[in-house]
Structure 1
Amino acid sequence: MAVCVAVIAKENYPLYIKASTADNELKFYYTVHSSLDVIEEKINSAGKNANDQRELYLGLLYPTEDYKVYGYVTNTKIKFVIVVESSNTTLRDTEIRSMFRKLHQGYVDMLCNPFYIPGESVSSKSFSETVISMMQQ
């Protein structure tokens, strides 16, 4: 389902990036990096309307010829980016939201580890298994 999953720190450096193939890994790094501007723009435009409660799911950030990039931001400004193939037309918005909820829950479970220092690269096996299961669905 997903071809790339990334977790980005609030200071916009990658904590975790996993691509489905090693062939296009550099392309996915570029795709995730270029999505950060769109994420910041959506966060800032939502922040202007202070009466609205901020939606964590940002939706489709931008489509390319081959992929669609979706975004999600936690309350602590940790950003999740999922890249899916554009040819996958059966993918619904509810399924993407479900993937982000699963990813967020895996991240929270990893944060509960007392040996993890927030802001360091994610090296948790259970988190990696969660991401790999999302890519194999």
Structure 2
Amino acid sequence: IRSVPTENELKFHYTVHTSLDVVDEKISAMGKALVDQRELYLGLLYPTEDYKVYGYVTNSKVKFVMVVDSSNTALRDNEIRSMFRKLHNSYTDIMCNPFYNPGDRIHSRAFDNMVNSMMMQVC
């Protein structure tokens, strides 16, 4: 979990873990339709007073969650979807690296730079 500013990380841990329940509900509601899709943008999982929580699931059941400030009205649904696609592509590049062991912490300067640039775009 990466947040700006970093003192909110514990709050975001709670928010992300809570949103995973919503992701699981949406996936089970989709059922067999999920298997037919290459990727699944779940959209807005739930809004809170301060944040909007979005979700994305790949066909291999990798879940991405993005928490955005509710006051950011410039960010539209198609931009969020595009950000998830970029994140998915970068994640796929890491998984294809023969020196990466699945399940290990990701140590990639390119991935970090991509995530940081997305976060700065949103801020």
Give TM-score, length-normalised by structure 1: 0.82
Give identity over the alignment, percent: 66
1:71 alignment partner AA: G
Q: Secondary structure at the match of 1:119?
A: coil
Q: How many residues of Structure 1 are paired with residues of Structure 2 in the alignment?
A: 120
RMSD: 1.6
- Partner residue of 1:99? 83
TM superposition shift of 1:53: 3.1
- Partner residue of 2:73? 89
1:53 alignment partner AA: D
Go from structure 1 to structure 2 and tell me whether the alpha carbon gap of 1:51 and 1:114 turns closer, same or farther (over 3 Å shift). Answer: closer
Aligned with residue 53 of structure 1, among 36, 42, 48: 36
TM superposition shift of 1:23: 1.4
Greater fraction of residues in helix: 2
Q: Secondary structure at the match of 2:67?
A: strand
Aligned with residue 31 of structure 1, among 7, 11, 15: 15
Aligned with residue 133 of structure 1, among 97, 106, 117: 117
Q: Can you list the C-alpha shifts for 1:63-108, whole angstroms capped at 9, x where unaligned?
A: 0110000000011111001110100112111100100011001101
Over 4 Å off, 4+ runs: 49-52
Go from structure 1 to structure 2 and tell me whether the alpha carbon gap of 1:21 and 1:75 turns closer, same or farther (over 3 Å shift). Answer: same
In structure 1, list runs of 5 or more residues that go unmatched: 1-16
Distance 1:51 1:99 in 2: 21
Go from structure 1 to structure 2 and tell me whether the alpha carbon gap of 1:104 and 1:52 turns closer, same or farther (over 3 Å shift). Answer: closer
